[in-house]
Amino acid sequence: MKITIIGAGIIGVSSAYFLAKSGYEVEVIDRQDGPGLETSFANAGMLTPSMSDPWNSPGIMGTLISSLIGGHSSIILSPKILPSIVGWGLSFLNQSRQKYFYNNLHRSAELCCYSMKVLAKLNDDLDINYQGYKTGSMKIFRDQSAMDKLAKLSEKLKD
């Protein structure tokens, strides 16, 4: 079986590697001249378990309403697209309830930790240079309440 993967970023190339290793014929295509030049480039390729909280956190409804009425939000949502995303949107909002959010937070962090282990093993096995760095990360807060909110999330990750 031949599999074509669109995108030569970290996910596309890693998927191609594991598929080829499993015996599949794999082709990777990308619109750029080389691998990792779009989403995987620079900080978009970060694997940071401590920053793995889902976007649909409790309270996201207020953020969405703010974006719809022209507030200063990190989420921009055009009212014109609302009819086409109603089903997805209801599921998104349902998953923002606390019991689901914290479960998804743990699952995201676990996936990120697993991804880091797989990437480290790939690097060891293949001796590749992908310009990866293990330098940590720093988050800057505008106010104390934002920092307190992240501290609470961090405590939940310890559970």
What tens-digit pLDDT sequence spans the chain (159 residues)? 999 999 998 889 999 999 999 999 999 999 999 888 887 665 556 777 777 888 888 988 887 777 767 656 666 667 788 889 899 989 999 999 999 999 999 999 999 889 889 988 888 888 877 677 777 788 899 999 989 988 988 888 886
pLDDT given at position 28: 97
Question: From the centroid of its chain, how far is CA 2?
Answer: 28
> Residue 44 is part of which domain span?
2-135
Report the number of distinct structural domains present in the chain: 1
Residue 157 lies in a domain: no
Residue 156 lies in a domain: no
Q: Tokens 């293949």 appear where?
A: 126
pLDDT given at position 75: 64
Residue 71 lies in a domain: yes
Cα distances (angstroms) measured from residue 131 to each of 10, 40, 138: 12, 11, 19
Pairing of strands 25-29, 2-6: parallel
Name the region of 30 (left: φ>0; alpha: ψ -120 to 50; beta: rest): beta
pLDDT given at position 134: 76
pLDDT given at position 88: 92
Residue 155 lies in a domain: no
pLDDT given at position 73: 61
Residue 150 lies in a domain: no
**CA–CA separation, 133 vs 116, rounded Å?**
12
Q: Per the structure block, which two tokens stand in for 123? A: 């690097």
Residue 152 lies in a domain: no
**CA–CA separation, 24 vs 22, rounded Å?**
6
**CA–CA separation, 112 vs 51, rounded Å?**
9
Stated pTM of the model: 0.72
Residue 158 lies in a domain: no
Residue 144 lies in a domain: no
